[in-house]
Structure 1
Amino acid sequence: MAGVCICKYKVFKFKFSLSILLLLRICRGSISVMLSSVFRCLRTYPVAGQRSMSQSSLVGKVAIVTASTDGIGLAAAQALGKRGAHVVVSSRRQPNVDKAVALLQSQSIRVTGTTCNVGNGEDREKLVQMTLDQCGGIDILVSNAAVNPFLGNIMDSTEDVWDKILSINVKSAFLMTKLVVPHMEKRGGGNVVFVSSVAGYQPMQALGPYSVSKTALLGLTRALAPELAHSNIRVNCVAPGIIKTRFSSVLWRNEEIIDEFKKQLSIKRIGEPEEIGGVIAFLCSEEASYITGETITVTGGIGCRL
Protein backbone atom coordinates (compact mmCIF):
# COMPACT_ATOMS: atom_id res chain seq x y z
CA MET A 1 0.00 0.00 0.00
CA ALA A 2 2.85 2.36 0.91
CA GLY A 3 4.61 1.51 -2.37
CA VAL A 4 1.51 2.43 -4.36
CA CYS A 5 1.27 5.80 -2.57
CA ILE A 6 4.93 6.55 -3.29
CA CYS A 7 4.43 5.66 -6.94
CA LYS A 8 1.36 7.90 -7.21
CA TYR A 9 3.28 10.69 -5.51
CA LYS A 10 6.13 10.41 -8.04
CA VAL A 11 3.67 10.51 -10.93
CA PHE A 12 1.97 13.57 -9.42
CA LYS A 13 5.35 15.24 -8.87
CA PHE A 14 6.36 14.59 -12.47
CA LYS A 15 3.06 15.93 -13.85
CA PHE A 16 3.29 18.98 -11.58
CA SER A 17 6.86 19.73 -12.70
CA LEU A 18 5.83 19.31 -16.32
CA SER A 19 2.93 21.72 -15.81
CA ILE A 20 5.25 24.29 -14.24
CA LEU A 21 7.68 24.03 -17.16
CA LEU A 22 4.86 24.42 -19.68
CA LEU A 23 3.50 27.39 -17.74
CA LEU A 24 6.93 29.06 -17.66
CA ARG A 25 7.34 28.55 -21.39
CA ILE A 26 3.91 30.04 -22.06
CA CYS A 27 4.63 33.02 -19.77
CA ARG A 28 8.02 33.54 -21.32
CA GLY A 29 6.45 33.53 -24.77
CA SER A 30 3.75 35.97 -23.64
CA ILE A 31 6.32 38.27 -22.08
CA SER A 32 8.38 38.16 -25.26
CA VAL A 33 5.33 39.00 -27.38
CA MET A 34 4.36 41.76 -24.97
CA LEU A 35 7.84 43.32 -24.99
CA SER A 36 7.98 43.13 -28.77
CA SER A 37 4.65 44.95 -28.93
CA VAL A 38 5.88 47.63 -26.53
CA PHE A 39 9.07 48.27 -28.50
CA ARG A 40 7.13 48.31 -31.77
CA CYS A 41 4.70 50.82 -30.26
CA LEU A 42 7.54 53.04 -29.04
CA ARG A 43 9.06 53.05 -32.50
CA THR A 44 5.74 53.98 -34.05
CA TYR A 45 4.61 56.42 -31.34
CA PRO A 46 7.57 58.16 -29.65
CA VAL A 47 7.29 59.04 -25.98
CA ALA A 48 5.63 62.33 -25.15
CA GLY A 49 8.89 64.14 -24.46
CA GLN A 50 10.41 63.10 -27.77
CA ARG A 51 7.29 64.01 -29.70
CA SER A 52 7.11 67.41 -28.02
CA MET A 53 10.74 68.12 -28.85
CA SER A 54 10.18 67.18 -32.48
CA GLN A 55 7.04 69.27 -32.82
CA SER A 56 8.63 72.37 -31.32
CA SER A 57 11.71 72.13 -33.54
CA LEU A 58 12.16 74.96 -36.03
CA VAL A 59 15.23 73.51 -37.73
CA GLY A 60 15.34 74.62 -41.36
CA LYS A 61 13.02 77.58 -40.80
CA VAL A 62 13.96 81.19 -41.54
CA ALA A 63 12.55 83.90 -39.27
CA ILE A 64 12.56 87.67 -39.75
CA VAL A 65 12.14 89.56 -36.48
CA THR A 66 11.81 93.33 -36.78
CA ALA A 67 13.21 95.66 -34.10
CA SER A 68 15.12 92.71 -32.72
CA THR A 69 18.35 94.00 -31.21
CA ASP A 70 16.88 94.61 -27.76
CA GLY A 71 13.97 93.75 -25.48
CA ILE A 72 11.13 91.54 -26.72
CA GLY A 73 12.43 91.44 -30.30
CA LEU A 74 15.81 90.10 -29.21
CA ALA A 75 14.16 87.61 -26.84
CA ALA A 76 11.98 86.37 -29.72
CA ALA A 77 15.06 85.94 -31.93
CA GLN A 78 16.76 83.98 -29.15
CA ALA A 79 13.75 81.72 -28.58
CA LEU A 80 13.34 80.99 -32.29
CA GLY A 81 17.08 80.51 -32.79
CA LYS A 82 17.42 78.10 -29.86
CA ARG A 83 14.74 75.96 -31.49
CA GLY A 84 16.81 75.78 -34.67
CA ALA A 85 15.56 78.65 -36.84
CA HIS A 86 17.92 80.89 -38.78
CA VAL A 87 16.97 84.33 -37.46
CA VAL A 88 17.31 87.63 -39.29
CA VAL A 89 17.57 90.54 -36.87
CA SER A 90 17.33 94.22 -37.66
CA SER A 91 17.44 97.68 -36.16
CA ARG A 92 17.84 101.22 -37.40
CA ARG A 93 21.42 101.46 -36.06
CA GLN A 94 24.32 99.28 -37.21
CA PRO A 95 26.10 99.14 -33.79
CA ASN A 96 22.94 97.68 -32.26
CA VAL A 97 22.74 95.09 -35.03
CA ASP A 98 26.40 94.13 -34.57
CA LYS A 99 25.92 93.72 -30.81
CA ALA A 100 22.83 91.53 -31.19
CA VAL A 101 24.45 89.35 -33.87
CA ALA A 102 27.51 88.78 -31.68
CA LEU A 103 25.32 87.82 -28.72
CA LEU A 104 23.22 85.36 -30.71
CA GLN A 105 26.28 83.82 -32.34
CA SER A 106 27.80 83.30 -28.88
CA GLN A 107 24.69 81.20 -28.11
CA SER A 108 25.27 79.03 -31.21
CA ILE A 109 22.29 80.58 -33.00
CA ARG A 110 22.35 80.96 -36.79
CA VAL A 111 21.82 84.66 -37.36
CA THR A 112 21.99 87.33 -40.04
CA GLY A 113 21.69 91.02 -39.24
CA THR A 114 21.03 94.23 -41.13
CA THR A 115 19.84 97.78 -40.57
CA CYS A 116 16.19 98.45 -41.33
CA ASN A 117 13.72 101.23 -40.64
CA VAL A 118 10.40 99.45 -41.15
CA GLY A 119 8.71 102.78 -41.82
CA ASN A 120 10.74 103.07 -45.02
CA GLY A 121 9.53 101.04 -48.01
CA GLU A 122 13.00 100.61 -49.51
CA ASP A 123 14.33 99.33 -46.19
CA ARG A 124 11.52 96.78 -45.93
CA GLU A 125 12.22 95.50 -49.43
CA LYS A 126 15.97 95.37 -48.71
CA LEU A 127 15.35 93.32 -45.55
CA VAL A 128 13.21 90.79 -47.41
CA GLN A 129 15.57 90.52 -50.40
CA MET A 130 18.63 90.10 -48.18
CA THR A 131 16.85 87.31 -46.29
CA LEU A 132 16.03 85.54 -49.55
CA ASP A 133 19.57 85.95 -50.89
CA GLN A 134 21.32 84.73 -47.74
CA CYS A 135 18.80 82.28 -46.28
CA GLY A 136 16.89 80.99 -49.30
CA GLY A 137 13.35 81.72 -48.13
CA ILE A 138 11.09 83.02 -45.39
CA ASP A 139 8.94 80.96 -43.02
CA ILE A 140 8.29 83.28 -40.07
CA LEU A 141 7.68 87.00 -39.58
CA VAL A 142 7.61 88.48 -36.09
CA SER A 143 6.46 92.08 -36.41
CA ASN A 144 7.76 93.77 -33.28
CA ALA A 145 8.69 97.29 -34.37
CA ALA A 146 6.84 100.07 -32.54
CA VAL A 147 7.26 103.70 -31.55
CA ASN A 148 5.67 106.01 -29.01
CA PRO A 149 6.71 109.64 -29.44
CA PHE A 150 3.94 110.99 -27.21
CA LEU A 151 3.05 111.02 -23.50
CA GLY A 152 0.09 113.00 -22.23
CA ASN A 153 -3.60 113.69 -22.64
CA ILE A 154 -4.82 112.15 -25.89
CA MET A 155 -6.58 115.42 -26.77
CA ASP A 156 -3.18 117.10 -26.88
CA SER A 157 -1.80 114.68 -29.47
CA THR A 158 -1.09 116.08 -32.92
CA GLU A 159 -1.61 114.84 -36.46
CA ASP A 160 2.14 114.20 -36.77
CA VAL A 161 2.04 112.00 -33.66
CA TRP A 162 -0.82 109.94 -35.06
CA ASP A 163 0.83 109.65 -38.47
CA LYS A 164 4.08 108.35 -37.01
CA ILE A 165 2.51 105.91 -34.54
CA LEU A 166 0.05 104.42 -37.02
CA SER A 167 2.65 104.31 -39.80
CA ILE A 168 5.19 102.30 -37.78
CA ASN A 169 2.99 100.34 -35.39
CA VAL A 170 0.23 99.31 -37.79
CA LYS A 171 0.81 100.13 -41.45
CA SER A 172 4.38 98.82 -41.60
CA ALA A 173 3.28 95.61 -39.85
CA PHE A 174 0.77 95.01 -42.64
CA LEU A 175 3.16 96.01 -45.44
CA MET A 176 5.89 93.70 -44.11
CA THR A 177 3.36 90.89 -44.06
CA LYS A 178 2.33 91.67 -47.63
CA LEU A 179 5.98 91.45 -48.71
CA VAL A 180 6.73 88.10 -47.08
CA VAL A 181 3.50 86.19 -47.82
CA PRO A 182 4.40 85.26 -51.45
CA HIS A 183 7.68 83.76 -50.22
CA MET A 184 5.94 81.84 -47.43
CA GLU A 185 3.55 80.45 -50.02
CA LYS A 186 6.53 79.14 -52.01
CA ARG A 187 7.65 77.26 -48.87
CA GLY A 188 4.21 75.73 -48.38
CA GLY A 189 3.10 77.99 -45.53
CA GLY A 190 4.38 80.02 -42.63
CA ASN A 191 3.66 82.04 -39.52
CA VAL A 192 3.09 85.73 -38.83
CA VAL A 193 3.11 87.02 -35.25
CA PHE A 194 2.29 90.61 -34.36
CA VAL A 195 3.45 92.04 -31.04
CA SER A 196 0.62 94.10 -29.56
CA SER A 197 0.25 95.12 -25.89
CA VAL A 198 -2.04 94.92 -22.89
CA ALA A 199 -2.66 98.58 -23.76
CA GLY A 200 -4.53 97.32 -26.80
CA TYR A 201 -7.17 95.96 -24.42
CA GLN A 202 -6.87 98.42 -21.58
CA PRO A 203 -5.68 101.83 -22.82
CA MET A 204 -3.03 103.29 -20.57
CA GLN A 205 -3.28 106.82 -19.26
CA ALA A 206 -0.93 109.15 -21.18
CA LEU A 207 -0.48 106.50 -23.91
CA GLY A 208 -3.70 107.05 -25.85
CA PRO A 209 -2.47 107.00 -29.50
CA TYR A 210 -0.06 104.12 -28.77
CA SER A 211 -2.86 102.13 -27.13
CA VAL A 212 -5.12 102.66 -30.16
CA SER A 213 -2.38 101.40 -32.49
CA LYS A 214 -2.01 98.25 -30.42
CA THR A 215 -5.77 97.67 -30.52
CA ALA A 216 -5.53 97.93 -34.31
CA LEU A 217 -3.09 95.00 -34.37
CA LEU A 218 -5.71 92.80 -32.70
CA GLY A 219 -8.06 93.64 -35.56
CA LEU A 220 -5.36 93.15 -38.19
CA THR A 221 -4.70 89.67 -36.81
CA ARG A 222 -8.37 88.71 -37.07
CA ALA A 223 -8.67 90.21 -40.58
CA LEU A 224 -5.61 88.48 -42.05
CA ALA A 225 -6.02 85.03 -40.48
CA PRO A 226 -8.92 83.71 -42.62
CA GLU A 227 -7.48 85.11 -45.85
CA LEU A 228 -4.03 83.59 -45.33
CA ALA A 229 -5.24 80.27 -43.92
CA HIS A 230 -5.85 79.14 -47.51
CA SER A 231 -2.08 79.42 -48.05
CA ASN A 232 -1.31 77.48 -44.86
CA ILE A 233 -0.12 80.70 -43.17
CA ARG A 234 -1.18 81.19 -39.58
CA VAL A 235 -1.51 84.73 -38.19
CA ASN A 236 -1.46 85.31 -34.45
CA CYS A 237 -0.70 88.06 -31.97
CA VAL A 238 0.93 88.40 -28.55
CA ALA A 239 -0.15 91.11 -26.12
CA PRO A 240 2.50 91.55 -23.41
CA GLY A 241 1.84 93.28 -20.13
CA ILE A 242 4.47 95.44 -18.44
CA ILE A 243 7.75 93.84 -19.47
CA LYS A 244 11.18 94.90 -18.26
CA THR A 245 12.55 96.45 -21.45
CA ARG A 246 14.18 99.74 -22.32
CA PHE A 247 11.10 100.69 -24.36
CA SER A 248 8.79 100.44 -21.32
CA SER A 249 11.26 101.79 -18.76
CA VAL A 250 9.21 104.97 -18.35
CA LEU A 251 6.58 102.74 -16.70
CA TRP A 252 8.46 100.13 -14.68
CA ARG A 253 11.03 102.57 -13.29
CA ASN A 254 8.24 104.67 -11.78
CA GLU A 255 7.45 103.05 -8.41
CA GLU A 256 4.08 104.79 -8.10
CA ILE A 257 2.93 103.52 -11.52
CA ILE A 258 4.21 100.01 -10.88
CA ASP A 259 2.54 99.82 -7.46
CA GLU A 260 -0.77 100.63 -9.16
CA PHE A 261 -0.18 97.98 -11.84
CA LYS A 262 0.73 95.35 -9.27
CA LYS A 263 -2.71 95.73 -7.73
CA GLN A 264 -4.10 94.33 -11.00
CA LEU A 265 -1.53 91.53 -11.29
CA SER A 266 -2.01 87.96 -10.14
CA ILE A 267 1.73 87.38 -10.47
CA LYS A 268 3.11 90.28 -8.44
CA ARG A 269 6.15 91.17 -10.55
CA ILE A 270 7.18 92.72 -13.84
CA GLY A 271 7.53 90.32 -16.78
CA GLU A 272 10.80 89.45 -18.50
CA PRO A 273 11.37 89.61 -22.29
CA GLU A 274 12.17 85.88 -22.38
CA GLU A 275 8.65 85.14 -21.17
CA ILE A 276 7.28 86.77 -24.31
CA GLY A 277 9.89 85.24 -26.61
CA GLY A 278 8.87 81.75 -25.54
CA VAL A 279 5.21 82.39 -26.36
CA ILE A 280 6.14 83.75 -29.79
CA ALA A 281 8.25 80.67 -30.51
CA PHE A 282 5.35 78.44 -29.43
CA LEU A 283 2.98 80.17 -31.85
CA CYS A 284 5.47 79.52 -34.67
CA SER A 285 5.81 75.82 -33.84
CA GLU A 286 3.78 72.78 -34.89
CA GLU A 287 2.47 72.58 -31.34
CA ALA A 288 0.31 75.60 -32.24
CA SER A 289 -0.71 74.22 -35.65
CA TYR A 290 -4.45 74.67 -34.94
CA ILE A 291 -4.17 78.24 -33.65
CA THR A 292 -4.77 81.21 -35.94
CA GLY A 293 -6.46 84.59 -35.60
CA GLU A 294 -5.82 84.61 -31.86
CA THR A 295 -4.13 86.98 -29.44
CA ILE A 296 -2.37 85.49 -26.43
CA THR A 297 -2.17 87.90 -23.52
CA VAL A 298 0.99 87.52 -21.43
CA THR A 299 0.26 89.96 -18.64
CA GLY A 300 0.81 88.27 -15.29
CA GLY A 301 -2.94 88.00 -14.81
CA ILE A 302 -4.30 91.42 -15.78
CA GLY A 303 -7.87 91.01 -17.00
CA CYS A 304 -8.06 91.68 -20.74
CA ARG A 305 -11.22 92.15 -22.78
CA LEU A 306 -12.54 94.55 -25.40
Structure 2
Amino acid sequence: MKNDYIVCVCGDASRAAYLIKGEKNVLFDAGMAYSADKMIKNIKRELGDRPLDAVLLSHSHYDHISGVPFLRKEWPDLVVYGSAYAKKILEKPSAKKTMRELSDAAAQGVGLTKAPDYRDEDLMVDKVVKEEDILDFGGHKITVFETPGHTKCSLSYMVDHDVIFASETVGVTTSEVYMPCYLVGYQMSLDAVEKLRHAGAKRIFITHVGILTPEDAGTALLPGLKKEEFSADRVWDYLEAGLKRTKDEIVEIIRKYPTEEEQLKIMLATYHKGVKQEEQPDFAFLLNAAATLKVIRRECMNDADPER
Protein backbone atom coordinates (compact mmCIF):
# COMPACT_ATOMS: atom_id res chain seq x y z
CA MET A 1 0.00 0.00 0.00
CA LYS A 2 1.47 3.33 -1.07
CA ASN A 3 2.10 5.83 1.74
CA ASP A 4 1.17 3.20 4.32
CA TYR A 5 1.00 4.17 8.00
CA ILE A 6 3.08 1.09 8.85
CA VAL A 7 6.82 1.31 8.15
CA CYS A 8 9.75 -1.03 8.77
CA VAL A 9 12.27 0.84 10.96
CA CYS A 10 14.47 -2.10 11.92
CA GLY A 11 18.16 -1.30 12.18
CA ASP A 12 19.25 -4.67 10.74
CA ALA A 13 18.08 -7.31 8.28
CA SER A 14 15.85 -9.18 10.76
CA ARG A 15 12.82 -6.91 10.11
CA ALA A 16 11.79 -7.06 13.77
CA ALA A 17 10.66 -3.46 14.37
CA TYR A 18 7.69 -1.85 12.61
CA LEU A 19 6.35 1.64 13.28
CA ILE A 20 2.59 2.22 13.38
CA LYS A 21 2.13 5.95 12.81
CA GLY A 22 -0.89 7.92 14.05
CA GLU A 23 -1.99 10.42 16.68
CA LYS A 24 0.24 8.35 18.93
CA ASN A 25 3.13 6.39 17.49
CA VAL A 26 3.55 2.73 18.34
CA LEU A 27 6.37 0.29 17.62
CA PHE A 28 5.70 -3.41 17.09
CA ASP A 29 8.72 -5.17 18.59
CA ALA A 30 12.05 -3.49 19.26
CA GLY A 31 14.75 -5.36 17.39
CA MET A 32 18.24 -6.16 18.61
CA ALA A 33 20.63 -4.24 20.83
CA TYR A 34 23.50 -4.04 18.35
CA SER A 35 21.32 -2.28 15.75
CA ALA A 36 19.27 -0.08 18.11
CA ASP A 37 21.09 3.11 17.09
CA LYS A 38 20.10 2.69 13.47
CA MET A 39 16.54 1.75 14.45
CA ILE A 40 16.21 4.96 16.44
CA LYS A 41 17.51 6.98 13.49
CA ASN A 42 14.93 5.32 11.27
CA ILE A 43 12.13 6.11 13.74
CA LYS A 44 13.23 9.75 13.94
CA ARG A 45 13.31 9.92 10.14
CA GLU A 46 9.63 8.97 10.15
CA LEU A 47 8.47 10.98 13.16
CA GLY A 48 10.65 14.08 13.13
CA ASP A 49 10.16 15.82 16.48
CA ARG A 50 7.14 13.71 17.44
CA PRO A 51 7.68 11.11 20.19
CA LEU A 52 7.49 7.35 20.11
CA ASP A 53 4.71 6.61 22.60
CA ALA A 54 4.58 2.84 22.99
CA VAL A 55 6.11 -0.52 22.14
CA LEU A 56 4.03 -3.67 21.65
CA LEU A 57 6.08 -6.79 22.36
CA SER A 58 5.13 -9.95 20.51
CA HIS A 59 7.23 -12.11 22.84
CA SER A 60 10.33 -12.11 25.03
CA HIS A 61 13.05 -13.32 22.65
CA TYR A 62 16.22 -11.21 22.53
CA ASP A 63 15.90 -10.33 18.82
CA HIS A 64 12.51 -8.72 19.46
CA ILE A 65 13.09 -6.89 22.75
CA SER A 66 16.78 -5.98 23.15
CA GLY A 67 16.27 -2.56 21.62
CA VAL A 68 13.87 -1.53 24.41
CA PRO A 69 16.50 -0.01 26.79
CA PHE A 70 17.83 2.22 24.00
CA LEU A 71 14.33 3.37 23.07
CA ARG A 72 13.66 4.27 26.71
CA LYS A 73 16.82 6.36 26.81
CA GLU A 74 15.65 8.30 23.75
CA TRP A 75 11.98 8.57 24.81
CA PRO A 76 11.75 8.37 28.64
CA ASP A 77 7.93 8.40 28.65
CA LEU A 78 7.73 5.32 26.46
CA VAL A 79 5.31 2.60 27.63
CA VAL A 80 6.13 -1.04 26.84
CA TYR A 81 3.22 -3.49 26.54
CA GLY A 82 3.53 -7.26 26.78
CA SER A 83 2.01 -10.39 28.27
CA ALA A 84 2.05 -11.28 31.97
CA TYR A 85 4.39 -14.17 31.19
CA ALA A 86 6.81 -11.90 29.31
CA LYS A 87 6.82 -9.51 32.27
CA LYS A 88 7.59 -12.41 34.62
CA ILE A 89 10.44 -13.65 32.42
CA LEU A 90 12.05 -10.22 32.17
CA GLU A 91 12.05 -9.87 35.95
CA LYS A 92 14.39 -12.86 36.29
CA PRO A 93 18.14 -12.08 36.62
CA SER A 94 18.89 -15.32 34.75
CA ALA A 95 16.76 -14.19 31.79
CA LYS A 96 18.46 -10.80 31.69
CA LYS A 97 21.85 -12.55 31.70
CA THR A 98 20.78 -14.77 28.81
CA MET A 99 19.52 -11.72 26.87
CA ARG A 100 22.94 -10.10 27.19
CA GLU A 101 24.75 -13.25 26.09
CA LEU A 102 22.53 -13.71 23.04
CA SER A 103 22.76 -10.01 22.17
CA ASP A 104 26.55 -10.16 22.33
CA ALA A 105 26.59 -13.31 20.17
CA ALA A 106 24.36 -11.62 17.58
CA ALA A 107 26.65 -8.57 17.56
CA GLN A 108 29.70 -10.78 17.08
CA GLY A 109 27.91 -12.48 14.20
CA VAL A 110 27.98 -9.21 12.27
CA GLY A 111 31.60 -8.43 13.15
CA LEU A 112 31.21 -6.38 16.34
CA THR A 113 33.03 -7.15 19.60
CA LYS A 114 29.81 -7.07 21.65
CA ALA A 115 26.44 -5.39 21.84
CA PRO A 116 26.29 -1.84 23.25
CA ASP A 117 25.72 -1.66 27.00
CA TYR A 118 22.38 -0.87 28.62
CA ARG A 119 20.70 -0.91 32.03
CA ASP A 120 19.10 -4.25 32.89
CA GLU A 121 16.25 -2.49 34.68
CA ASP A 122 15.21 -0.86 31.38
CA LEU A 123 14.50 -4.26 29.81
CA MET A 124 10.99 -4.73 31.19
CA VAL A 125 7.26 -4.71 30.48
CA ASP A 126 5.43 -1.66 31.87
CA LYS A 127 1.82 -2.66 31.17
CA VAL A 128 0.46 -6.19 30.95
CA VAL A 129 -2.13 -6.90 28.24
CA LYS A 130 -4.26 -9.98 27.63
CA GLU A 131 -6.73 -11.59 25.24
CA GLU A 132 -9.34 -9.16 23.80
CA ASP A 133 -7.83 -6.06 25.41
CA ILE A 134 -8.31 -3.05 23.14
CA LEU A 135 -5.61 -0.38 23.28
CA ASP A 136 -6.70 3.08 22.18
CA PHE A 137 -3.87 5.08 20.67
CA GLY A 138 -6.01 7.94 19.38
CA GLY A 139 -6.12 7.33 15.65
CA HIS A 140 -5.77 3.57 16.01
CA LYS A 141 -7.45 0.92 18.15
CA ILE A 142 -5.32 -2.19 18.61
CA THR A 143 -6.81 -5.51 19.74
CA VAL A 144 -4.69 -8.04 21.63
CA PHE A 145 -4.71 -11.80 20.94
CA GLU A 146 -2.91 -14.39 23.02
CA THR A 147 -1.21 -16.74 20.54
CA PRO A 148 1.17 -19.06 22.41
CA GLY A 149 3.00 -21.76 20.49
CA HIS A 150 6.27 -20.08 19.56
CA THR A 151 6.64 -19.07 23.21
CA LYS A 152 4.25 -19.11 26.14
CA CYS A 153 4.23 -15.32 26.10
CA SER A 154 3.44 -14.77 22.40
CA LEU A 155 0.92 -12.06 21.52
CA SER A 156 -0.55 -10.88 18.22
CA TYR A 157 -2.09 -7.46 17.62
CA MET A 158 -4.76 -6.27 15.16
CA VAL A 159 -4.79 -2.62 14.10
CA ASP A 160 -8.28 -1.28 13.27
CA HIS A 161 -9.40 -4.56 11.62
CA ASP A 162 -6.89 -3.63 8.89
CA VAL A 163 -3.56 -5.32 9.66
CA ILE A 164 -2.98 -8.21 12.03
CA PHE A 165 0.56 -8.44 13.39
CA ALA A 166 0.75 -12.22 13.72
CA SER A 167 3.19 -13.54 16.29
CA GLU A 168 6.00 -15.85 15.25
CA THR A 169 3.77 -18.71 16.38
CA VAL A 170 2.24 -18.91 12.88
CA GLY A 171 5.69 -19.49 11.36
CA VAL A 172 7.99 -17.44 9.17
CA THR A 173 8.10 -17.45 5.38
CA THR A 174 11.65 -16.95 4.11
CA SER A 175 13.14 -16.42 0.66
CA GLU A 176 13.56 -20.20 0.46
CA VAL A 177 11.11 -22.03 2.70
CA TYR A 178 8.40 -21.94 5.37
CA MET A 179 10.16 -22.05 8.75
CA PRO A 180 8.30 -23.79 11.61
CA CYS A 181 8.43 -21.84 14.87
CA TYR A 182 6.44 -23.95 17.36
CA LEU A 183 8.86 -24.06 20.29
CA VAL A 184 6.36 -24.74 23.10
CA GLY A 185 3.32 -26.19 21.34
CA TYR A 186 2.35 -27.56 17.93
CA GLN A 187 -1.40 -27.70 18.61
CA MET A 188 -1.17 -24.27 20.23
CA SER A 189 0.21 -22.98 16.92
CA LEU A 190 -2.62 -24.51 14.89
CA ASP A 191 -5.08 -22.97 17.34
CA ALA A 192 -3.39 -19.58 16.94
CA VAL A 193 -3.76 -19.66 13.14
CA GLU A 194 -7.44 -20.53 13.51
CA LYS A 195 -7.99 -17.75 16.05
CA LEU A 196 -6.28 -15.11 13.91
CA ARG A 197 -8.06 -16.32 10.77
CA HIS A 198 -11.37 -15.40 12.41
CA ALA A 199 -10.21 -12.00 13.66
CA GLY A 200 -11.25 -10.39 10.38
CA ALA A 201 -8.11 -8.45 9.43
CA LYS A 202 -7.73 -7.41 5.79
CA ARG A 203 -3.93 -7.70 5.75
CA ILE A 204 -1.51 -10.06 7.44
CA PHE A 205 1.90 -9.16 8.85
CA ILE A 206 4.36 -12.05 9.22
CA THR A 207 7.22 -11.63 11.68
CA HIS A 208 10.63 -11.08 10.04
CA VAL A 209 8.86 -10.65 6.68
CA GLY A 210 6.39 -7.76 6.74
CA ILE A 211 2.87 -7.29 5.37
CA LEU A 212 2.11 -9.89 2.70
CA THR A 213 0.74 -8.54 -0.60
CA PRO A 214 -0.58 -10.02 -3.86
CA GLU A 215 2.91 -9.49 -5.30
CA ASP A 216 4.17 -12.18 -2.88
CA ALA A 217 1.87 -14.79 -4.44
CA GLY A 218 3.77 -17.27 -6.57
CA THR A 219 7.10 -16.29 -5.01
CA ALA A 220 9.12 -18.19 -2.41
CA LEU A 221 7.09 -16.42 0.29
CA LEU A 222 3.78 -17.86 -0.96
CA PRO A 223 4.58 -20.60 -3.47
CA GLY A 224 1.71 -22.20 -5.33
CA LEU A 225 -0.63 -19.25 -4.79
CA LYS A 226 -1.68 -17.24 -7.85
CA LYS A 227 -1.77 -13.47 -7.63
CA GLU A 228 -5.46 -13.37 -8.57
CA GLU A 229 -6.22 -15.88 -5.80
CA PHE A 230 -4.50 -13.85 -3.08
CA SER A 231 -6.60 -13.14 0.02
CA ALA A 232 -6.17 -13.13 3.77
CA ASP A 233 -7.96 -16.47 3.99
CA ARG A 234 -5.62 -18.06 1.44
CA VAL A 235 -2.63 -16.84 3.46
CA TRP A 236 -4.05 -18.50 6.58
CA ASP A 237 -4.51 -21.68 4.50
CA TYR A 238 -0.84 -21.51 3.51
CA LEU A 239 0.33 -21.02 7.11
CA GLU A 240 -1.86 -23.85 8.41
CA ALA A 241 -0.58 -26.15 5.66
CA GLY A 242 3.00 -25.18 6.53
CA LEU A 243 2.46 -26.11 10.16
CA LYS A 244 1.00 -29.50 9.28
CA ARG A 245 3.54 -30.31 6.57
CA THR A 246 6.58 -29.45 8.69
CA LYS A 247 5.20 -31.49 11.59
CA ASP A 248 5.11 -34.55 9.32
CA GLU A 249 8.58 -33.76 7.97
CA ILE A 250 10.07 -33.39 11.45
CA VAL A 251 8.50 -36.67 12.58
CA GLU A 252 10.29 -38.34 9.65
CA ILE A 253 13.57 -36.59 10.49
CA ILE A 254 13.37 -37.90 14.07
CA ARG A 255 12.59 -41.42 12.86
CA LYS A 256 15.31 -41.45 10.19
CA TYR A 257 18.20 -39.89 12.12
CA PRO A 258 19.01 -41.47 15.51
CA THR A 259 20.88 -38.60 17.23
CA GLU A 260 19.75 -35.08 17.99
CA GLU A 261 22.96 -33.77 16.45
CA GLU A 262 22.01 -35.34 13.12
CA GLN A 263 18.41 -34.16 13.43
CA LEU A 264 19.50 -30.57 14.07
CA LYS A 265 21.87 -30.68 11.11
CA ILE A 266 19.00 -31.71 8.82
CA MET A 267 16.68 -29.11 10.37
CA LEU A 268 19.28 -26.41 9.68
CA ALA A 269 19.70 -27.49 6.06
CA THR A 270 15.96 -27.86 5.50
CA TYR A 271 14.45 -24.82 7.23
CA HIS A 272 17.25 -22.26 7.41
CA LYS A 273 18.07 -22.08 3.70
CA GLY A 274 18.59 -18.58 2.37
CA VAL A 275 18.58 -16.93 5.81
CA LYS A 276 21.52 -14.57 6.29
CA GLN A 277 23.42 -14.66 9.57
CA GLU A 278 22.49 -11.03 10.30
CA GLU A 279 18.82 -11.97 9.96
CA GLN A 280 19.05 -15.03 12.24
CA PRO A 281 22.39 -16.59 13.20
CA ASP A 282 22.64 -20.37 12.91
CA PHE A 283 23.09 -20.69 16.68
CA ALA A 284 19.75 -18.98 17.30
CA PHE A 285 17.94 -21.19 14.79
CA LEU A 286 19.49 -24.31 16.35
CA LEU A 287 18.28 -23.32 19.83
CA ASN A 288 14.77 -23.01 18.39
CA ALA A 289 15.09 -26.24 16.41
CA ALA A 290 16.06 -28.21 19.52
CA ALA A 291 12.91 -26.95 21.25
CA THR A 292 10.81 -27.82 18.18
CA LEU A 293 12.13 -31.40 18.21
CA LYS A 294 11.04 -31.77 21.83
CA VAL A 295 7.56 -30.47 21.02
CA ILE A 296 7.11 -32.92 18.16
CA ARG A 297 8.38 -35.86 20.24
CA ARG A 298 6.02 -34.94 23.07
CA GLU A 299 2.89 -34.09 21.09
CA CYS A 300 3.11 -36.16 17.93
CA MET A 301 5.21 -39.25 18.61
CA ASN A 302 4.63 -40.51 22.16
CA ASP A 303 1.87 -42.87 21.10
CA ALA A 304 2.35 -42.88 17.34
CA ASP A 305 5.83 -44.40 17.15
CA PRO A 306 6.05 -48.01 18.42
CA GLU A 307 9.83 -47.74 18.68
CA ARG A 308 9.62 -44.95 21.26
Asked if these proteins are the same fold (TM beyond 0.5), I'd say no
Determine which structure has greater relative contact order: mean sequence separation of CA pairs < 8 Å that are 6+ residues apart, divided by chain length: 1
The TM-score, its normalising length taken from structure 1, stands at: 0.32
The structure with more radius of gyration = 1
The TM-score, its normalising length taken from structure 2, stands at: 0.32
More helix by share: 1
